[in-house]
Amino acid sequence: MAYTVPKLKDFSSAILDKAADKLLAALDEESKTVSSEAEWKAFRDRWMARKNGVLTQINELWLKAAPKDAKRDVGQRVNEIRQKIEQKVDGAKARLRAPVMEVEHSGIEVPVEELEKYAGGIKRDADRLDITLPGIRRPLGAEHPVIKTMNEIVSVFRDLGYSVREGPEIETDYYNFEALNFPPNHPARDMQDTLFIAHQESKPLRERLLLRTHTSPVQIRTMEQMKPPVRIVIPGKVHRNDPPDASHSPMFHQIEGLAVDSDITFGDLKGTLDHAMKALFGSSVKTHFRPSYFPFTEPSAEMMVSCFICGGSGKRGSEPCRPCKQTGWIEILGCGMVDPNVYGFVDYDPRKVSGFAFGMGADRMALLKYGVDDIQLFFQGDVRFLEQFA
């Protein structure tokens, strides 16, 4: 006789115990009778179907009907019962699987002992193995869109003869600021909201540790180690005390470049960056420079590229082009001629050498390139988002 869920008149522990025992005994009994796929489905539905399954019924007849002071106790028992039902339903399916699969898929039954003779130690889950079942496929990984973008930018400069340098993410104040011509108390320090390591007040300012706010310290570290000519690109993570939003993240990626030699001019800077942008965004993009300020370059400039989304028109059909804010230009990087003061920190002679530096946000480049409108998506690790770029 099939089990039916009784209405409870009394919600005392003793009555609940009895009712639960009865239910679980019936569950156990019924699970044993399952011997085919069809029977298993019926078993599963009888106990778990949203509409009128036993689980739904005990929710209605026991939990919802329970008086307030018994709700907690009843709720706990219903949860335990739910787990048991799920276990039994899964268990019945697993018991079913081995023999039924053999019949349904192939009909080939090979005794494990036979296989072991040839294959030497095969993992055995059941008495029979179905050798026609598909194997386990491991999903292939792919490059993250930001890393992919960084690699593309790096390779453009590699082709121009630049080498790649990296440096520590925890830096001293000296490398992050002072040697880059940000004197103590200089207002330009406030342009970069810095994350400092705590409890360093007893150290001299230049030795205090912080999370680097740009990849520029690697320029100093490199020039300390080698004499000109220097041609390097520096990809890496940087950190600022910026609250996360669609275009800001406390951690982001920069790529920076530095070229120093005996006779480098602003013309070289423009030619190099113009070539790089054409290599990255297509040969029809135009570049445009306008004056800016950075402590470590003089003169400094911001470079714009003509909008590669609307072709510089500021419009997409009849709609305004949002990435360039209808101006037809997109601001893409900061650059300039290395300030002679910087050479003083690395023992280069400013009368004999000159050079340029530039830096761009790799995440921003990836946003533009892939038409993504929220930088946070890059760092949330959601495979559904990331696999679009694989």
Sign of the torsion angle spanned by Cα atoms 40, 41, 46, 49: positive
From the CB of 302, what's the least distance to Zn ion, in Å?
17
From the CB of 342, what's the least distance to Zn ion, in Å?
35
Q: Which is nearer to Zn ion, 154 or 307 (CB)?
A: 307
Q: Which of residues 194-223 bind Zn ion (CB under 5 A)?
A: none
Residue 368 touches Zn ion, criterion: CB under 5 A: no
Q: Which residues contact 383 (CB under 8 A, 6 or more apart)?
A: none
Cβ-count burial of 125 within 10 angstroms (0-12 exposed, 13-18 middle, 19+ buried)?
exposed
From the CB of 206, what's the least distance to Zn ion, in Å?
44
From the CB of 305, what's the least distance to Zn ion, in Å?
10
Q: Which is nearer to Zn ion, 59 or 327 (CB)?
A: 327
Q: Report how many residues bind Zn ion under the rule CB under 5 A.
A: 5
From the CB of 325, what's the least distance to Zn ion, in Å?
8
Q: Which is nearer to Zn ion, 168 or 323 (CB)?
A: 323
Cβ-count burial of 2 within 10 angstroms (0-12 exposed, 13-18 middle, 19+ buried)?
exposed
Task: Report residue 15 as tokens.
Answer: 């009555």
Q: Which is nearer to Zn ion, 310 or 368 (CB)?
A: 310
Q: Which is nearer to Zn ion, 61 or 309 (CB)?
A: 309
Q: Which residue type occupies 63?
A: L
CA distance 197 to 208: 8
Q: Which is nearer to Zn ion, 34 or 333 (CB)?
A: 333
**CA angle (224 as vertex; 219, 228 as ends), nearest 5:** 80
From the CB of 312, what's the least distance to Zn ion, in Å?
7
CA 386 to chain CA centroid, nearest Å = 8
Contacts with Zn ion, 299-338, as mask; x by CB under 5 A = --------x-xx----------x--x--------------
DSSP state for residue 59 in the 8-state scheme = I
From the CB of 314, what's the least distance to Zn ion, in Å?
6
CA distance 324 to 333: 14
Q: Which is nearer to Zn ion, 69 or 319 (CB)?
A: 319
Task: Report residue 232 as tokens.
Answer: 């390097």
CA distance 144 to 9: 60
Residues that bind Zn ion (CB under 5 A): 307, 309-310, 321, 324
